[in-house]
């Protein structure tokens, strides 16, 4: 199909941007240096490009380099004029309604964070002026997006996993999602394809069988990866957080349980982020069911991950999760009983059901890590560190690899200066190198279907 050459879409009351201030409208309409123009264009293009087979942000941006986005001010708000957009977003010349909703969710979140910055609550990079305010910022963004539902019993299962998993693993994520849906549980993922799409698809069928009309399919993303992992068609509630760290915090704050499917370095980053938080002494008694699961073919993958965690973070880290192989029904039952325990704990603590205020999250898990060669080489990855601090630094190492793989700024840094170098304790470096090599051999680091050229070098 050819690209849609030009279409003017008018904002309709779809739950986002129903009411805009004059300042918000003006900010969205600004162009040129210092404006939201480039950020809006990248995120809107990603939403319109749903179903894309490529996982390279650069390829997407190059393919649609003629894509144009213009925000037009109207008396009642704004309209969006687009040109040379992906044809997959349209049916008979009309934009698919679900895509239109997600498009204006993009504008909603970007406008809201910009408003907070202009009000002096946060700087222009979306960073709170005080670290203690970061959780409040995450809360504010989720509340503004109507994700937080007061009075609704705990029922959100966060699902993590790779966007480029094989067919057998993908089908397994659908079966797990189906079993969750049959039990009335809702799904939150990173909103993209693969293990982010499968659980939503399965849950939608489970919800349908149980005649659940208001099933929730929440997708959390951020500008740096949205082009490489565009929202899948099932996402009904899209939220764009300012950066990866706030996205990860949003996941754990709204989760009542977390399931991890097979994936690549991005999934390993998520696991280490979560374990680093749960290993903090203040979080020892906070219940949060965590399950690692996949089909029989993924047994070796999870054995490898489990051994790496045990060797680096110790037995306490291994005690914070369970591994289920080829047992979708068992996973769903365990999630259901785990969420019941979360419900009891929240009631006893008089904590909100919709947002986990009890979790202590340190600044090293909240402050954005912008990968550079100097920062990657300077990561402190040593045996003597407390487990939660070591987890934080290992998470940053994986975050840097993700940046070198799919983020435009990371790819550019690798092209200019060569691979990132990762240094640290020799034993940990050897274990890290083995884990990463196994991911490459298993095809978990493929990009765009091409042979993987590592953007990193582990110094062993």
Q: How far apart are CA 343 and CA 347, in angstroms?
A: 6
Q: How far apart are CA 340 and CA 151, in angstroms?
A: 15
Range scoring the smallest mean pLDDT among 209-213, 250-254, 450-454? 450-454
CB atoms within 10 A of CB 376: 24
Residue 84 has a pLDDT of 86
pLDDT, average across residues 68-72: 83
CATH number belonging to the domain at 130-460, selected among 3.40.50.450, 3.30.530.20, 3.30.70.2740, 3.40.50.1100: 3.40.50.450
N- to C-terminal Cα separation, the chain = 50
Segments of the chain assigned to CATH 3.30.1850.10: 4-120
Please determine, for residue 238, whether its predicted confidence score (pLDDT) is greater than 80.
Answer: yes
Segments of the chain assigned to CATH 3.40.50.450: 130-460
pLDDT > 70: percent of the chain: 90
Range scoring the smallest mean pLDDT among 16-25, 138-147, 297-306? 16-25
Per-residue model confidence as pLDDT tens digits over 73-115 = 776 667 788 888 888 888 888 888 888 889 889 988 998 888 8
User: Rounded to an integer, what is the distance from CA 384 to the centroid of its chain?
Assistant: 31
Report field, pTM of the whole predicted structure over 0.85: yes
* R_g (Cα) of the chain, nearest Å: 21
Q: Of 30-44, 101-115, 386-400, give the range with the top mean pLDDT.
A: 386-400
**Entry field: residues in the chain:** 460
Please determine, for residue 24, whether its predicted confidence score (pLDDT) is greater than 90.
Answer: no
Per-residue model confidence as pLDDT tens digits over 105-162 = 998 899 888 888 877 766 555 566 566 689 999 999 999 999 999 989 999 999 999 9
384 three-class SS: coil
At residue 35 the predicted structure's pLDDT band, cuts being 50, 70 and 90, is confident
What residues have CB less than 8 Å from 169, skipping those under 6 apart? 161, 162, 195, 261, 262, 294, 295, 297, 298
User: Rounded to an integer, what is the distance from CA 240 to the centroid of its chain?
Assistant: 9
pLDDT, average across residues 262-291: 96
Residue 1 has a pLDDT of 43
**Dihedral sign of CA atoms 302, 187, 392, 341 in order:** negative
Q: Which fold has domain 4-120?
A: MCP/YpsA-like (3.30.1850)
- Evaluate whether 420 touches 433 at the Cβ level (below 8 Å): no
What residues have CB less than 8 Å from 362, skipping those under 6 apart? 280, 388, 392
Instruction: Report strand pairing: 77-85 vs 4-10.
Output: antiparallel
Which secondary structure element, helix H or strand E, spans residue 95, and what is its range?
A: strand 94-95
**CA nearest neighbour of 249 among 385, 400, 141:** 141
Q: How far apart are CA 419 and CA 426, in angstroms?
A: 19
80 three-class SS: strand
């Amino acid at each position: 199909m050819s690209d849609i050459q030009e279409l003017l879409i008018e904002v309709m009351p779809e739950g986002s941007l129903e009411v805009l201030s004059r300042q918000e409208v003006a900010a969205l309409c600004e162009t040129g240096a210092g404006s939201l123009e480039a950020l809006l264009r990248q995120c809107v293009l990603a939403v319109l490009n749903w179903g894309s087979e490529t996982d390279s942000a650069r390829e997407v941006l190059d393919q649609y380099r003629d894509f144009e986005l213009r925000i037009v001010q109207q008396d009642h708000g704004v309209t969006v004029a687009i040109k040379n957009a992906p044809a997959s977003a349209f049916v008979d010349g009309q934009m698919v309604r679900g895509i239109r909703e997600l498009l204006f969710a993009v504008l909603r979140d970007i406008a809201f964070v910009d408003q907070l910055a202009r009000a002096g609550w946060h700087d222009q990079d979306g960073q709170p002026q005080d670290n203690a305010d970061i959780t409040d910022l995450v809360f504010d963004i989720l509340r503004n997006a109507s994700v937080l539902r007061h009075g609704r019993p705990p029922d959100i299962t966060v699902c993590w996993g790779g966007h480029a998993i094989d067919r057998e693993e993908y089908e397994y994520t659908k079966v797990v999602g189906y079993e969750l849906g049959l039990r009335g549980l809702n799904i939150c993922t990173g909103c993209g394809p693969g293990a982010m799409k499968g659980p939503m698809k399965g849950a939608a069928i489970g919800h349908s069988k149980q005649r659940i009309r208001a099933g929730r399919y929440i997708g959390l993303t951020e500008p740096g990866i949205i082009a490489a992992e565009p929202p899948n068609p099932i996402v009904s509630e899209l939220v764009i957080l300012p950066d990866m760290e706030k996205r990860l915090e949003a996941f754990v704050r709204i989760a009542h349980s977390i399931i991890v499917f097979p994936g690549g370095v991005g999934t390993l980053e998520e696991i280490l982020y979560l374990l680093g938080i749960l290993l903090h002494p203040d979080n020892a008694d906070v219940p949060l069911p965590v399950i690692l699961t996949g089909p029989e073919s993924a047994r070796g993958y999870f054995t490898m991950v489990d051994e790496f965690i045990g060797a680096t973070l110790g037995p306490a880290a291994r005690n914070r999760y369970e591994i289920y192989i080829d047992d979708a029904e068992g996973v769903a039952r365990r999630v259901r009983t785990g969420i019941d325990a979360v419900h009891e704990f929240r009631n006893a603590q008089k904590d909100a059901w919709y947002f986990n205020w009890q979790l202590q999250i340190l600044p090293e898990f909240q402050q954005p890590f912008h990968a550079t060669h100097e920062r990657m080489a300077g990561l402190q990855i040593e045996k003597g560190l407390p487990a939660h601090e070591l987890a934080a630094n290992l998470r940053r190492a994986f975050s840097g690899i993700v940046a070198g793989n799919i983020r435009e700024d990371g790819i550019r840094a690798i092209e200019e200066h060569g691979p990132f170098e990762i240094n640290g304790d020799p034993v940990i470096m050897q274990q890290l190198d083995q884990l990463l090599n196994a991911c490459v051999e298993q095809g978990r680091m493929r990009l765009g279907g091409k042979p993987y050229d590592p953007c990193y070098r582990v110094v062993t």
